[in-house]
Amino acid sequence: MTEANRRSTDFTPDFTLAHLSDVHLSPLPPIGARHWNLKRLLGWLNWQRRRRHLYSRDVLDRIVADIAEQAPDHIAVTGDLANLGLPAEHEAALAWLRTLGDAERVTVIPGNHDIYSHIGADRGTGRWHPHMSPNTAAADYAIAEAQSAGMSGDAAFPFVRRFGKLAIIALNSAVPTRPFYAIGRIGKAQLDRLARILDRLGAEGLMRVVLIHHPPLPGLAKARHDLQDADALAEVLARHGAELVLHGHEHISSEHWHPAPSGHIPIIGVPSASLARPYKKEPPARYHLYRVALDTNRPSIELIARGLAEPGGPIIELERRLIVPDSQ
């Protein structure tokens, strides 16, 4: 990526999307006896010894206030609102989502900490359904996919949200895992539906923004943290195309490019939105704004990173650049 490619230009965006992830809401609620298991015990010990000193609700609240000041058209949250996947955490996360905006303005998908371990018959992240289902403008996609997949029409992943010439396609990579693992999995059913959705949206000339918690390509996540069927997802993206893929999970800023018929796809990761201070390779809390101009053959995308430059500092603009591959 050259400096010329990265240089920002002035343009009037047609749509602005805010992306934050891995908020790890605190404090932890009490854990009922029926929800204790080895994985949650280890996670609880990790929270008490380390994580509660890193992830700050005050910092997150300041990030949210800054997002409100920037007034994006939509907000995407790519998972890990919880820490131990407890019902009380899911309820607290729903209340927090409502502080961001109503269901038409805020989209959420689960992360591995949200579907951390089995919770029996509890609704779990199903509590977030209003923020985790097709919006009114994409109702026809939900109906078509339900018919083609032979299932009921409301809520399977991936779901689509449409905003004029831009569409969000939301995947679920979160599955319960055993201790010391934070892997993800999409599964064949989601992948098959994703291929059909990408084709249909692409044929209509829409900008396709894919949301996923785990990094979607092989080799982008640490061992025991990766997406188990990343190869299959990479193949779907390569065959059917997208204009932008956003993820979290690794708590770092990252950018990779993936070939597709529609042109190379930018795949961009965002750090945690609540980390109070640097930790290992993870920077302090930040989020991304994507300003998109849709009146060209290929959308123009400007990325603006905002967050903490230093612990305890103000929320400021950290970076501003166009998302353009070297080949262009």
Provide the pLDDT confidence category of residue 2 given band limits of 50, 70 and 90.
very low
Give the CATH number for residue 277: 3.60.21.10
Whole-number pLDDT of residue 298:
78
Strands 74-77, 106-108: pairing is parallel
What is d(CA 144, CA 194) in angstroms, rounded to the nearest whole number?
Answer: 13
Question: Mean per-residue pLDDT for 285-294?
Answer: 96
pLDDT in tens, 70-86: 999 999 999 999 999 99
Whether residue 14 has pLDDT greater than 90: yes
Phi, psi torsion values for 293, nearest 5 degrees: -105, 125
Provide the pLDDT confidence category of residue 152 given band limits of 50, 70 and 90.
very low
Whole-number pLDDT of residue 328:
42
Whether residue 4 has pLDDT greater than 60: no
Structural domain of 238: 14-322
Q: Is residue 99 part of a domain?
A: yes
pLDDT in tens, 196-205: 999 999 999 9
Q: Is residue 7 part of a domain?
A: no
Q: What is the pTM of this model?
A: 0.94
pLDDT in tens, 224-243: 999 999 999 999 999 999 99
Q: Which spans in the chain are helix H?
A: 3-6, 38-49, 57-70, 87-100, 139-149, 188-203, 230-240
Q: Is residue 9 part of a domain?
A: no
Indicate the number of domains in the chain. Answer: 1
Q: Is residue 45 part of a domain?
A: yes
Question: Mean per-residue pLDDT for 46-68?
Answer: 97
Q: Is residue 8 part of a domain?
A: no
Q: Of 92, 89, 86, which is closest to residue 120 (Cα–Cα)?
A: 86
Q: Is residue 2 part of a domain?
A: no
Counting residues of the chain whose pLDDT is more than 70, the rounded percentage is 91
